Structure 1
């Protein structure tokens, strides 16, 4: 019986543990800067990145996060408007201030025109370089 009581106490402690913010705490004036990348055309992997981004926004609040999601290689699929279920989620995240970035090199290689992308997508020369530059500026690169 004592073992179960200890197990219940431990479980309660775990469930009530909260994340402690690093200083300075995230705010509108000093948001967490986060970059995600999408490099796979696999729907499940794309949705996983989008869900992870959504979870970060829910935790911090959209006003306390600056977020860029970079799509390159086969992941460019995530920004093509023909993929309706993915496009719906991307647009919803855009409404929360998430910036979506397409790799221009990938677009050239795959013969993708800007008109095929979801409206509001930004195009950069190289997606990988975009990630490097954001990390160099102090952004956190999350690879779910």
Structure 2
């Protein structure tokens, strides 16, 4: 009985803290602008990043976010039509919520990947890391899961 009371006291002592929104609060006319990078070709790592994006969008709601995901290095393989089927489905699902995916042109040249090899509706940048930097300078927050 004593153990149960101690356990109950411990559970009750934990309080759930609500996240307090910074001003201005996220809204349709003032969305949270976020940029993520996919630098790794490791499927577990890619899925972790995609899960993080999904969680962020659930929290803020899709209409209150502008999310950009830049794939570079081995991470560019996540955008291949012939890539991992589960990753491809997750990317296509995020695209239905207007998540923008951008492929690194430098990596495409290095890995000999052509635009036709990539999923439809992918954006392109000369250099992926520069795209991330420029997005930050335009007010996007770089989020690293």
TM-score, normalised relative to structure 2: 0.93
Secondary structure of the residue aligned to 1:23 is coil
Please give the root-mean-square deviation of Cα atoms over the aligned residues, in Å.
Answer: 1.1
1:6 aligned to which of 6, 9, 15: 9
In the alignment, structure 2 segments of 5+ residues that lack a partner are none
Alignment correspondent of 1:61: 61
Secondary structure of the residue aligned to 1:100 is strand
In the alignment, structure 1 segments of 5+ residues that lack a partner are none
Secondary structure of the residue aligned to 2:130 is helix
| 1:5 shift after superposition | 4.0
- What is the rounded CA distance, in whole Å, between the counterparts of 2:32 and 2:128 in structure 1? 21
TM-score, normalised relative to structure 1: 0.94
Number of residue equivalences: 141
Secondary structure of the residue aligned to 2:98 is coil
- What is the rounded CA distance, in whole Å, between the counterparts of 2:94 and 2:66 in structure 1? 12
Q: For 1:94-134, what per-residue CA distance to the aligned partner results, in whole angstroms no more than 9, with x for missing partners?
A: 00010000000000010000000010000110000000001
